[in-house]
Amino acid sequence: MVVDTVKENLSVNKLVSSKREIIFVEGDMIVPDSKPDILSTICTSGVVNIYSKEILDDKVKIAGNINTYIMYLAENGEDKVRGINTNLDFSENVNVANCKEGMSSQIEVKLKTIECKVINGRKIGIKATLDIDIKIYNNEEIEIINDIQNAEEIQMLKENLKVNSLVGMGETKIYAKDTIAIDNIDNLAEILKTKVNIIDRDIKISYNKVLTKAEAEIKIMYLTEDNRINIVNAKIPVVGFIDIQNINENNICNVHYEIRNMIIKPNQVEEHSIYVEIEVGVSCTVYEEKEINIIQDIYSPCENLEYNKRQITTMKNRKNFQISKQINEKIILENLENKTILDVDMEPIVVKENRLKSKVLYECELEMRILVSDNNLDIETRNAKIPFDFVIDDLQNGEEINMDINMEIRDKNFVIQDGGNVTTNVDMVINANSYENANLNVIDELQSSGEREEQDYNIVMYIVKKGDSLWKIAKQFGSTIDDIARTNGIEDVDVIMPGQKLYIPRYTKKENKKIQMVSHV
């Protein structure tokens, strides 16, 4: 006989594999005929663009380029500082165990270092280091048995759980475009350096749509025709909609941004402006907190029940955090008298993660690359690090929690003081999302294979062992928790002690007896 079961659906988004890999991208660049020969390089910077990501069996294929800017000293002595721009293409297959075609992914590619070497006056060798963080997820629809309709005398051990069920996923492509004005007295000769960051990320949920809002923060260093260096900063809105059905304001959204392509080019000199176009890919995964009543174990004192029992892993306690962090420090750099800070590139990195019961402590460093110049426009690069830390607390289980961190620099200010000390003021926002793994024991394919063999006793004495529960004892002897508790005068069915003597009555089938359910939360 097939038992008539009641089921509910759970959409599981399970992390099946994660991998972090360092790859190296190398290439050569020939200096255009319109540029003077290179004497030496000053600094090299780049912006990573991801063209495509493909999930295959046991590997992930990533293709893109690094939009590279090289600032150099010219050999002819006429123009001290010049700049060239090139695209460094890459295509990489990363081996990732357990990933399969059709699974979803979250992939973060960061430019760790980029440097160049002068091969000769007309040729440069470029080497970049990319830090690739890959997470692969498997989305699965699970049917969970949570009740039985037509079978009497069945004992069920149930548990109420709150888990995060996947509502939906979606993505969109946004083109952020603008014309950035520079100073009217500046006739732009060439772009020396570009930096792009996606900041001020926010979402709003309405009408089965997720409104994603952010800004592309653009910083462009350029050379004028009269051999001056200047910097222009701008912010371009990055706004788009992602269609996801059945979402509401109580859902938790995880949004991921990546730059896919970028065009930055000066307009006509007399326009005093730079055209910027950035293609941004935005993906969104939406979860709901769902309370499920799941059968952990089952038996019948009267019939033999057959079923499969398997374990599935899903998520619970998913939360999003935002923390503000201010860094106010002095750094010592030698020989800075009569020099000016042109620009500072900085990258916050996590050095160490310490997990405690209710919090996670992060030890970090702010890596800085500082461009300084004197009155003769002699430019050099200085490196510095500032240690800092932050805490994410009020966690339910900090030792077991999974945490994703994104550190975003909102504002920065640097002042050279007397003696060469540099006062550093940095405002940072840390976005984090956390979750715990939830292992569920799921019963399926439940059926009865006939009546259970009747026991030849009316009552038996049993001595409680360590690890016993009334459920285990009742199932072992084909009795029920209610009958054992009533016979032994037990008020709290969750409390029995090793060495305690219990009298276990044989279960007697009664006509029209209703299903007995035991629920432990």
Q: Is the pLDDT of residue 265 over 50?
A: yes
Cα separation, 78 vs 56, whole angstroms: 53
Residues 366-386, mean pLDDT to the nearest whole number: 86
According to CATH, the topology of domain 456-505 is: Membrane-bound Lytic Murein Transglycosylase D; Chain A (3.10.350)
Q: Is the pLDDT of residue 519 over 60?
A: no
Query: pLDDT per residue over 241-250, tens digit each?
Result: 999 999 998 8
When the pLDDT of each residue in the chain is averaged and rounded to a whole number, the result is: 88
Least confident of 1-10, 87-96, 97-106: 1-10
Instruction: Say what the pLDDT of residue 152 is.
Output: 67
Query: pLDDT per residue over 456-466, tens digit each?
Result: 667 889 999 99
| Residue that has been written with the tokens 């935005």 in this structure | 282
Q: Is the pLDDT of residue 482 over 70?
A: yes
Least confident of 241-250, 280-289, 425-434, 449-458: 449-458
54: confidence class by pLDDT, cuts 50, 70, 90:
very high
Query: pLDDT per residue over 17-52, tens digit each?
Result: 999 999 999 999 999 998 999 999 999 999 999 999
Q: Is the pLDDT of residue 439 over 60?
A: yes
**Tokens, residue 263:** 């065009």
Q: Is the pLDDT of residue 510 over 70?
A: no
Q: Is the pLDDT of residue 237 over 90?
A: yes
**Tokens, residue 84:** 């060239």
pTM of the model: 0.85
Cα separation, 220 vs 232, whole angstroms: 5
Q: Which of 131, 165, 130, 138 is nearest to 55 (CA)?
A: 138
CB 114 within 8 A of CB 44: yes
Q: Give the residue extent of every domain in the chain.
A: 16-139, 147-298, 315-445, 456-505
Q: Interior CA angle at 409 toward 408 and 411, to 5°? A: 150
Give backbone dihedrals phi and psi of 312, rounded to 5 degrees, phi first: -120, 150
507: confidence class by pLDDT, cuts 50, 70, 90:
confident
Q: Is the pLDDT of residue 496 over 80?
A: yes
Q: Interior CA angle at 509 toward 507 and 515, to 5°? A: 95
Give backbone dihedrals phi and psi of 122, rounded to 5 degrees, phi first: -115, 5
Instruction: Say what the pLDDT of residue 382 is.
Output: 87
Residue burial 451-461, b: 16+ Cβ < 10 Å; e: rest? ebeeeeeeeee
520: confidence class by pLDDT, cuts 50, 70, 90:
very low
| DSSP 3-state of 256 | strand
**Tokens, residue 156:** 């069920």
User: For residues 235 and 158, which has the higher predicted lDDT (pLDDT)?
Assistant: 235
Residues 468-491, mean pLDDT to the nearest whole number: 91
Positions of E strands within 96-228: 104-120, 123-148, 155-181, 188-206, 209-224
Instruction: Say what the pLDDT of residue 517 is.
Output: 37
% the chain with pLDDT above 70: 94
Q: Is the pLDDT of residue 144 over 90?
A: no
How close are the terminal C-alpha atoms of the chain, in Å? 31
